[in-house]
Structure 1
Amino acid sequence: MKIALGSDHAGFVQKEMLRTWLSDQGHEVHDFGTFSADSMDYPDVAHPLSAAVAAGDYEEGILLCGSANGVCITANKHAGVRAAIAWLPELAGLARQHNNANVLCVPARYVSEEQAQEIVSTFLTTEFEGGRHQNRVAKINC
């Protein structure tokens, strides 16, 4: 799977772990940054990653920041992006099943590395259910 990955400084350590972990599983991962734990502005990563997902360059996107709120708000400014925050695997699964989310936003300050892996794994392996949910998803874009 082609995955776009990015974070701000608060998510940097977990992003690095996820980049290696996903690559080791055979995924093609493009790292949109940030490339250090130095303070930076999350939109500088979230916008290019979201634009690339919206353009179809990547199948899924994963963004991390401290609370996941900033990257999620930013990602959802892009037509065609359905970004969802998940701090539990069940929420990641529902975001895929019911909302056809294509960008996962992980709150790095509130989940462990092991939990982040479980959340990402659930997100990547859960299929959109379609059906009644397709009608709802079709009404999202303005």
Structure 2
Amino acid sequence: MAIGSDHTGFKLKAEISKFLKERKYLVTDVGTFTEESCDYPDIAYTVAKKVAANEVDFGVLIDATGIPSAITANKVKGIRAATCYNEFSAQSAREHNNANVLVVGAKSLDEESIKTIIDVFLKTEFGGGRHQRRLDKITEIEETQNKG
């Protein structure tokens, strides 16, 4: 799994990495590695590329709100990044949308809530069925928009 954050999520990223490693996940930290201001698109793009290239199964991104990193990651073909803010959104992101990148906000949620969200996200399987039909439509849009 690849994990990354901007400066806002730097401290939380260390705790989440530790949390994931304790659960036996192999974690690749792509940065940032200091609390100095940095640009979230650089980190989000790096995580998204690793997921899209199948170098890792999932990505986790942390910024202030979870919104800008999701926007960035979703520009990468094959990425379904979801900003999750509770257990239901995490479960739905995986079960209905087959999300492969989880994005959370360091200033939006406390650490324990984020850990719970991560647990739910990683334990939930994609439901397939009618949800696959909808994902196929999203993929078709993605293919059409990325031509040329």
Q: State the TM-score bracket (shorter-chain normalisation).
A: over 0.9
Please state how far the C-alpha of 1:138 moved relative to its aligned partner.
1.2
Q: Distance in 1 between matches of 2:127 and 2:30?
A: 29
Per the alignment, in what secondary structure is the counterpart of residue 28 of structure 1? coil
Which residues of structure 2 form unaligned runs of 5+?
143-148
Deviating runs (4+, > 6 A) in structure 1? none
Q: Distance in 1 between matches of 2:119 and 2:34?
A: 24
1:82-128, Cα deviation, whole Å (9 max, x unpaired): 00000111101100000000000001101111001001000000000
Whether 2:65 is the aligned partner of 1:63: answer no
Task: Select 2:92's aligned residue among 88, 91, 94.
Answer: 94
Q: Distance in 2 between matches of 1:125 and 1:36?
A: 30
Task: Select 1:137's aligned residue among 135, 138, 143.
Answer: 135
Which structure's residues are more often strand, by fraction?
Answer: 1
Task: Select 2:49's aligned residue among 48, 51, 69.
Answer: 51
Count the aligned residue pairs.
140
Please state how far the C-alpha of 1:140 moved relative to its aligned partner.
1.2
Please state how far the C-alpha of 1:51 moved relative to its aligned partner.
0.6
Whether 2:9 is the aligned partner of 1:11: answer yes
Q: Distance in 1 between matches of 2:32 and 2:127?
A: 33
Amino acid at match of 2:132: Q
Per the alignment, in what secondary structure is the counterpart of residue 139 of structure 1? helix
Please state how far the C-alpha of 1:69 moved relative to its aligned partner.
0.9
Please state how far the C-alpha of 1:37 moved relative to its aligned partner.
1.4
Q: Distance in 1 between matches of 2:10 and 2:78?
A: 26
- Write the mapping of 1:101-116 to structure 2, written as runs, cut at 5 A: 101-116=99-114
Amino acid at match of 2:133: N
TM-score normalised per structure 2: 0.93
Amino acid at match of 2:80: R
Please state how far the C-alpha of 1:6 moved relative to its aligned partner.
0.5
The percentage of aligned residue pairs carrying the same residue is 44
Please state how far the C-alpha of 1:79 moved relative to its aligned partner.
0.5
Please state how far the C-alpha of 1:36 moved relative to its aligned partner.
1.3
Q: State the match for 2:145 in structure 1.
A: none
Per the alignment, in what secondary structure is the counterpart of residue 138 of structure 2? coil
Q: Distance in 1 between matches of 2:56 and 2:136?
A: 20
Structural RMSD (CA): 0.7
